[in-house]
A and B are shown apart, each in its own frame.
Chain A
Amino acid sequence: NAGVMQNPRHLVRRRGQEARLRCSPMKGHSHVYWYRQLPEEGLKFMVYLQKENIIDESGMPKERFSAEFPKEGPSILRIQQVVRGDSAAYFCASSPRAGNSYEQYFGPGTRLTVT
């Protein structure tokens, strides 16, 4: 039973390029959360999605960031025109339903470095 998968694990982008981070939730999970961890800080919520719907994007920066969770395929976090301040670890978590987040399982994270 595979856990939450994220790829790539490490991503290097030059300033101005686009970054695409992918998250495949656990089998049977239809709810996905994205969190960002800046160096030496705790994780901060970005966005919560269900299949084909964004439920809560209150933690997403207003510009350059977008997220989707299509009917088929992984959830994608997209960062356009990356800047150095976007360098961080991005974690995805999934749960089977909108319920007790005791069941929120984290992926290994994608470490984005912007040069």
Chain B
Amino acid sequence: AQKITQTQPGMFVQEKEAVTLDCTYDTSDQSYGLFWYKQPSSGEMIFLIYQGSYDEQNATEGRYSLNFQKARKSANLVISASQLGDSAMYFCAMRERIQGAQKLVFGQGTRLTINP
């Protein structure tokens, strides 16, 4: 079974600094997908970025980039020029394929706090 590990329960960063949120994964599948979601205090799950296991380049979406190191089985999220609105919980997730379904397996999350 797939497993996602996020080792940073909480992080505090100064506004405008870059921040890296760690994520390691464990899978025996050759084809898989990795996701990052943001969950602000309001509770909704906001999709940020996706990386496929066969993608040769690291995914980027605006200020978000995914540092994908396949050999190390890590998929860290990098947020450049952090803003106060980035304060939230961040979840790393992996796609697990079961009978054609593609359910997501989530890590425990990292609570990011941006200080002014």
Contact = CB atoms under 8 A, between A and B. Distances in A.
B36 interface: no
Chief secondary structure at chain B's binding surface: strand
Interface string A40-71: 11111100100000011011000000000000
B99 A56 contact: yes
Contact of B103 (A33, A99, A105): A33
A98 interface: yes
Interface residues of A, number: 29
Contacts of A100: 33, 95, 102
Contacts of A56: 98-99, 101, 103
A106 B93 CA distance: 14
Contacts of A106: 37, 44-45, 47
18 contacts: A31-B101, A33-B101, A40-B109, A41-B108, A43-B93, A43-B106, A44-B106, A45-B103, A91-B45, A99-B102, A100-B33, A100-B102, A101-B35, A101-B95, A101-B104, A102-B50, A106-B37, A111-B43
What 3 pairs across the A-B complex have the smallest Cβ distances? A42-B106, A101-B102, A106-B45
Given A35-B106, A42-B91, A56-B101, 12 more contacts: A43-B91, A44-B106, A45-B105, A55-B101, A100-B102, A101-B33, A101-B103, A101-B104, A102-B50, A104-B102, A108-B43, A111-B43
